[in-house]
């Protein structure tokens, strides 16, 4: 293979989309619940590739055939460090020689990111792409987030007694504080805002946006909850590939320790699925931190992964 790497140009966007679509179709074969993207549905994906063509990017050619491309996405602060992300639609490569192509593209782009003092590198990639997962692992990346999807079907053996829809924001503040205080603990180590006023504002916004909160109560006190609604329509949030595809999303979930292992979580999930099905949604998805072992175990029993986000930390001293 006579590979040549060069900067990505806007005129490369059509070939890049075709290459990405081939990768997406492979993932959809593994997970048929994913929505169809084809030539007719390419608008949003193609537009985002084209819009990012002005960012730092590279493409690899074998003679006249594009065999790989990678584009820089947004830059932001994450875990108190300057970060850059390559979204799931902003890269792809052919199967033959995939590892070498990605090594070449990452070597080129990471040098640009280093010049800009970006010490956290994040890449969103399809869950079933084992060659790419292994390549990223040996480049020093580790998983941080997973996006999973399931059909909106009732779960057998999950009664919904004790579960109701909640409307009192004030009664939810204490359990949401406990929920957020869970994340800084080992092994998740993620800091969440536990300020009561901030929590109240967040809950009020979720309800105002049309989301629903299903709560399990014990003696009138909330002991667990699921928040469900239409997947976000905003561009820079989770579930990009499922946006505007009749997909519902779990936007929050928590069960107090004393009530775990009793089927209550499955009951809350069933209630959320029932709501999604009754409101005409085709699928339900959730995003979770991979280091949240309790949550990951639960979600993996009921949802199939289609996307992972992996991160590499670069020592700022070398930048």
- pLDDT, residue 41, reads 66
Assess contact for 206 and 173: CB atoms under 8 A: no
- Between the CA of residue 288 and those of 69, 148, 308, what are the distances in Å? 28, 8, 10
Per-residue pLDDT of 51-83, as tens digits, reads: 999 999 999 999 999 999 999 999 999 999 999
Q: Which tokens belong to 252?
A: 């929050």
Q: Secondary structure of 124-149 in the HEC alphabet?
A: EEECCCHHHHHHHHHCCCEEEEEEEE
Query: pLDDT class for 37, splitting at 50, 70, 90?
Result: confident
Is the pLDDT at 154 greater than 90, yes or no? no
Is the pLDDT at 1 greater than 60, yes or no? no
Average pLDDT value for residue range 152-181: 82
- pLDDT, residue 141, reads 98
Per-residue pLDDT of 284-312, as tens digits, reads: 999 999 999 999 999 999 999 999 999 99
Query: Distance between CA 113 and CA 42 in Å, rounded?
Result: 29
Is the pLDDT at 160 greater than 70, yes or no? no
- pLDDT, residue 157, reads 52
Average pLDDT for the chain: 94
Q: Which residue has the tokens 């869970």?
A: 182
Q: Which tokens belong to 231?
A: 């997947």
Is the pLDDT at 219 greater than 90, yes or no? no
How much is the pTM? 0.94
Question: Could you tell me the domains of the chain?
Answer: 3-145+310-318 (3.40.630.30), 153-281 (3.40.630.30)
Per-residue pLDDT of 117-151, as tens digits, reads: 999 999 999 999 999 999 999 999 999 999 999 99
| Residue 214 zone, left/alpha/beta (φ > 0; ψ -120 to 50; rest) | beta
Query: pLDDT class for 153, splitting at 50, 70, 90?
Result: confident
- pLDDT, residue 254, reads 98
């Amino acid at each position: 293979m006579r590979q040549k790497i060069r900067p990505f140009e806007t005129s490369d966007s059509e070939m890049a989309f075709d290459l990405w679509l081939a990768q997406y179709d492979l993932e959809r074969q593994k997970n048929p619940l994913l929505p169809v993207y084809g030539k007719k549905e390419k608008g949003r994906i193609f537009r985002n590739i084209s819009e990012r063509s002005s960012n730092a990017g590279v493409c690899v050619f074998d003679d006249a055939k594009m065999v790989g491309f990678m584009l820089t996405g947004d830059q932001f602060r994450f875990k108190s460090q300057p970060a850059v992300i390559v979204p799931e639609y902003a890269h792809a490569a052919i199967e033959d020689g995939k590892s070498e192509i990605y090594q070449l593209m990452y070597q080129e782009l990471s040098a640009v990111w280093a010049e800009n003092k970006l010490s956290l590198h994040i890449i969103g990639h399809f869950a079933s792409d084992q060659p790419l997962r292994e390549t990223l692992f040996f480049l020093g990346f580790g998983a941080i987030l997973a996006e999973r999807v399931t059909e909106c079907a009732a779960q057998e053996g999950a009664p919904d007694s004790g579960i109701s829809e909640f409307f009192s924001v004030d009664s939810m503040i204490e359990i949401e504080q406990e929920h957020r205080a869970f994340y800084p603990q080992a092994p998740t180590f993620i800091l969440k805002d536990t300020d009561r006023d901030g929590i109240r504002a967040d809950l009020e916004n979720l309800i105002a946006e049309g989301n629903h909160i299903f709560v399990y109560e014990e003696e009138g006190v909330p002991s667990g909850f699921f928040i469900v609604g239409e997947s976000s329509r905003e561009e820079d949030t989770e579930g990009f590939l499922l946006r505007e595809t009749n997909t519902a999303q779990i936007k929050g979930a928590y069960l107090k320790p004393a009530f775990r292992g009793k089927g209550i979580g499955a009951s809350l999930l069933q209630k959320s699925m029932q709501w999604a099905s009754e409101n005409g949604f085709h699928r339900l998805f959730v995003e979770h931190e991979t280091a949240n072992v309790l949550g990951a175990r639960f979600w993996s029993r009921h949802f199939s992964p289609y996307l992972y986000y992996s991160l590499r930390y670069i020592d700022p001293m070398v930048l």
